Amino acid sequence: MKLLEGRQGIAVLVVGLMLGFYLYKRKPGPSANQPTKATGQAESPTEQRPGQEMIDSLAPKVKVEQIVEERRQSNLRIEAGLQSIPTVSTGSGLKFLTRFKTVPMGCAMGDFDFIKSMTDSYSDKIFLLSFEPLHSNKSEIIRFRVSLGDIASPRPLEVVVPKVPDAARDYAVYLCLDTAKTNECGKKKTIGPRFWAGALNKKKDRDGVLYFQALTVRNEAAYILPSKHWNDSAVKSLKKTLKSTLESEATLDHMQKKLLDLSSAPARVSQNALNLTLPYKHPNCD
């Protein structure tokens, strides 16, 4: 009897130990959000993401007012009809492509017809394409001596203008006859359609401006100014819209005068280049 009781006590003790071990194993351990034995506190967000403070310190601080102003300026440029010229940054300069674009247009003599009549040579570089600052250092004129063949060719030219940080620089874009090789168009007289016949009959002093456009460079962007409508009301409207975009409102007065004299066709941005439009008489005309 005593032997049986001893065996039963041992059995009860073994079962108790097994039950205790089982319950211990099922007890959940401390989670990431429960207090730990070491600190007795939950981990703080900073402890969970140790690199967040550094990331926040490196993030650009852009003011809401700056974003709003940039969008306002962009909307004004679109409203005014400015065309953005594709550019590539080259250190302190902006590079873009330009080419002459000869197009058939109507049955009257066009700019390209007149240009062809001014020379008997296809290869003599008697013409000058220049990008001349209108209100700043004239030593920064960008020049290309070109021939009739160059003007007729679709091959683009590479133009590099200086960047203007936090400001604007306005340029006149001229094509002129420059047999005297002064390498500057801005001081020459304009030769518009009203004077073509007289210019062709002259033997001397034939140099003059044949084509004009204007562009502005601001920060790291370049824009060609609209040149379709140049009456007084159009210029007044542009002055109001582009006041904070241009280097000077006087650019629009200069452009109005040149375009009224020359009637140059508007330039266009296409095929990643600034295209200077030179119309000619349509071949189907008598």
- Please report whether residue 241 resides in a domain: yes
In a domain, 27, yes or no: no
Torsion of CA 144, 206, 103, 105, to 10 degrees: 160
Phi and psi, residue 146, nearest 5°? -130, 155
CA 210, CA 191: separation in Å to the nearest integer?
6
The pLDDT assigned to 3 comes to 42
Residue whose entry in the numeric block shows the structure tokens 């003059």: 208
Task: Count Cα neighbours of 55 within 13 Å in the Cβ-side half-sphere.
Answer: 5
CA 277 to chain centre: 21
CB of 168 closer than 8 Å to CB of 216: yes
Range(s) of the domain holding residue 253: 64-280
126: nearest Cα among 138, 139, 115: 115
* Residue 121 counted as domain residue: yes
Domain membership of residue 264 (yes or no) is: yes
Does residue 253 lie within any of the structural domains?
yes
179, 206 in Cβ contact below 8 A?
yes
Residue 73 lies in a domain: yes
Q: What is the pLDDT of residue 50?
A: 53
Residue 258 lies in a domain: yes
Selection from 171, 200, 197 nearest residue 96 by Cα: 171
What span, in angstroms and rounded, lies between the C-alpha atoms of 66 and 52?
26
Backbone φ, ψ for residue 218 (5° rounding): -135, 125
pLDDT tens series, the chain, 286 aa? 444 445 555 555 555 666 565 555 555 555 444 444 444 444 454 454 555 555 555 555 557 665 654 555 555 555 556 899 999 999 889 999 999 999 998 899 999 999 999 999 999 999 999 999 999 877 789 999 999 999 999 999 999 999 988 889 999 999 999 999 999 999 999 999 999 988 888 777 899 999 999 999 988 899 999 888 788 988 998 898 888 889 999 999 999 999 999 999 999 999 999 999 999 999 988 6
> What was the pLDDT predicted at 60?
58
Q: Quick one: CA torsion of 179, 183, 187, 190, rounded to 10 degrees?
A: 50
SS3 category, 84: strand
Domain assignment present for 41: no
Provide DSSP, 98-145.
Answer: EEEEEEE-SSS--HHHHHHHT-S-SS---EEEEEEESSS-GGG-EEEE
* Joined tokens for residue 224: 């060609």
- What is the reported pLDDT for 72? 52
Q: How many domains does the chain have?
A: 1
Residues 6 or more apart in contact with residue 179 via CB below 8 angstroms: 126, 206, 207
